[in-house]
Amino acid sequence: MSRTIATRYAGHTALLTAAASGIGAATAHRLAAEGASVLVTDVDEEGAARVAEEVRAKGGDARHRALDVTDPEAWPHAVRAAEQWTGRLDLLHLNAGRNLPGAVHELDDAAWHGHLRLALDSVFYGCRAAVPLLSAARGAIVVTSSVHAVLGFSGFPAYAAAKGGVTALVRQLAVEYGGRIRVNAVVPGAVDTGLWVDAPAEYRARTAARTPVGRIGEPEDIAAAVAFLGSADAAFVTGQNLVVDGGRSISADE
């Protein structure tokens, strides 16, 4: 019998972080449409509840839960919630991050450490808590990195350090957990989410013009890549950083 994309996640459970908006919310919709039971989490509990409700309204299976990914003590409870719901965990999407503008000489300790806690420490906390359950299901981890991990942009040192750390950690975890848990990162370029609300129109237009496909990304572009990396279609893919940026990072055009 042929397997259709609509059933790729049938019987699977996914725990999504930072999923009240943007890339995380789009991923919740995508995975649910492919048959997954999705546990939508975010520090913004109301937003997570709204996304879960929207998923259910479209016929998907979703629950929500408040989760501040920077809180190591909250993580085991979130993983247990998935286990108590369906008895399994097949995919962990570690998606938290935000821009922190400011050159190194302008950042104080709290800003630097706070940023690494959100975008890098949280990956450690989440993996530590979820590895046993993911391992039992021969599951997958997908982390949202950024092209800042592979390209230098003026003014974002903490963001680059955190996302670069994610790149190295993904490789390490993939080797560590081998055939038990596949671990990959999706590496978005510019994506039209909350992170871009304050971007001047001229900057958005310039970014689109420098992108070979001629536009900035939509959250759904990234969700599609997360869905691939977390699925059996990527059964032989681990330790990779999949760049999804419309070709921006490979273009030398001005």
Ligand X SMILES: NC(=O)c1ccc[n+]([C@@H]2O[C@H](COP(=O)([O-])OP(=O)(O)OC[C@H]3O[C@@H](n4cnc5c(N)ncnc54)[C@H](O)[C@@H]3O)[C@@H](O)[C@H]2O)c1
Catalytic residues: 159
Establish if 54 lies at the interface with ligand X (CB under 6 A).
no
DSSP 82-141: HHHHHS---EEEE---------GGG--HHHHHHHHIIIIIHHHHHHHHHHHHHHHTT-EE
Crossing angle for the helix pair 219-230 and 22-33, to the nearest 10 degrees: 50
Query: For ligand X, which residue of 56, 61, 70, 207 counts as binding (CB under 6 A)?
Result: 70
Cα angle 8, 66, 19 (rounded to 5 degrees) comes to: 40
42 belongs to the binding site for ligand X (CB under 6 A): yes
Site for ligand X in 221-240 (CB under 6 A): none
Binding-site string for ligand X from residue 92 to residue 131, where x marks contact by CB under 6 A and - marks none: ---xxx--------------------x-------------
User: Cα separation of 11 and 175, whole Å?
Assistant: 27
Q: Which of 39, 47, 241, 242 binds ligand X (CB under 6 A)?
A: 47
Which residues have CB under 8 Å from 130's CB, separation 6+? 15, 75, 79, 89, 92, 141
199 binds ligand X (CB under 6 A): no
Distance in Å, CB of 170 to ligand X, minimum: 13
17 binds ligand X (CB under 6 A): yes
How far apart are CB 51 and ligand X at their closest, in Å? 9
Place of tokens 């995975």: 31
Rounded distance between C-alpha atoms, residue 113 and residue 120, angstroms:
10
CB of 40 to ligand X, least distance (A): 10
Q: Is 146 in the site for ligand X (CB under 6 A)?
A: yes
Size of the site for ligand X (CB under 6 A): 28
| DSSP, res 247 | T
| Region binding ligand X by CB under 6 A among candidate stretches 28-36, 63-71, 233-241, 246-254 | 63-71
Task: Give the 3-state secondary structure of residue 185.
Answer: strand
Question: Under a CB-based contact definition with an 8 Å cutoff, are residues 53 and 130 in contact?
Answer: no
Residue closer to ligand X (CB basis): 134 or 143: 143
Binding site for ligand X (CB under 6 A): 17-18, 20-24, 42-44, 47, 67-70, 95-97, 118, 144, 146, 188, 190-191, 193-196
